Amino acid sequence: MPIVEHRKPSLRSYPMWLGTRLLLKPTLALWPLNKTGMAGLFLIDLLFAVGPKPRGVVREQMTLADRPVELIVPAGPSRRDSDTAMLYLHGGAFVVCGLGTHRSIAARMARSCEIPVFSLEYRQLPNAGVGTSVADAVAAYTELLTERGYRRVVVAGDSAGGFLAAKIVEAAAERDLPAPVALIGFSPLLDLDIADNPDRSSRSDAYIPLSKMRKLESLFDRGPIPLTGVRRIRDIAAEDFPPTVLITAENELLEPDAIELVEGLDAAGVDAVVHSYSWQVHAFPVLAVHHPDTLHAIEVTAAFVVQAMREGKNADDRTERAG
């Protein structure tokens, strides 16, 4: 089954859902999207950056494709595959968040999958539109394969970062680059024009207001690099997708697009699955890293990715022997 429903939320889920619904959703609905309002959001990442540091990993600040990146590697001895890395793309509606806000989820993925994770700080609003964000993500992916010595790369992202991860799938096929070994999406945004879809509603979403998404759409096409290719990830050819695992909150605004994508991939013979968690909020694995449901979501994601990595390595070994 490509859709797996998790209907037994932990007790912590209910107050988290209610709190975000009562506090965060109204705040987001009212937050101004002028240059001052968007620019001030960088403080959120700064606050997270000075918070507690994740354990069990080693971190290094560096650059990748001329963009800041944090390399996070599991500490201690490991049986990890040295030929595989993960590129993590943070969410935040292309306007907020960064390395600080997503340090914990990147560290958890590094430990769970036992591979190095490159968490990328791509350009975003108000200074750059989605086309520029995509260009940064694709350039980072390309450099990992062509200059950093990795043969296989897992692409992962939450919310807006999920869109960037999927656009890498498209770009890899167009540029004849090796496809990602797996695609991970935590509540991924899969349609830039979602607010114009009459079948989509944020009525049951814990904190994403559809009205704000509609206002953001007018900003997505800012330069300096124009967006090319699809705006709706479902329009990418199914055969270009690697094994794909998506995590969603039941009834969140973005869940129908995730289900639609995975059902299409499954019908085309691609290994793809959605894990839908009840009483969770959008991108909950990022927002509540110690939450029992988050730990479970990361566990099932890591198991899926490790299997995809194993199959990718076996395929490469067979190709080498045949050559």
Whole-number mean pLDDT of the chain?
Answer: 90
Q: Are strands 152-158 and 182-186 parallel, antiparallel or unpaired?
A: parallel
Domains, the chain, in order of start with CATH, read 3-322 (3.40.50.1820)
Using pLDDT thresholds of 50, 70 and 90, give the confidence band for residue 42: low
Using pLDDT thresholds of 50, 70 and 90, give the confidence band for residue 44: low
* Residues near 75 by beta carbon (within 8 Å), at least 6 away in sequence: 56, 57, 58
With both helix axes pointing from N to C terminus, report the angle between 130-146 and 160-174 in degrees, rounded to the nearest 10.
Answer: 60
Q: Which of 2-16, 63-77, 171-185, 206-220 has the least mean pLDDT?
A: 206-220
In this model, does residue 72 exceed pLDDT 90?
yes
Average pLDDT over residues 35-49: 64
Candidates 29, 48, 7, 1; CA nearest to 205 is 29
**Is the whole-model pTM more than 0.85?**
yes
Distance CA 255, CA 190 (A): 9
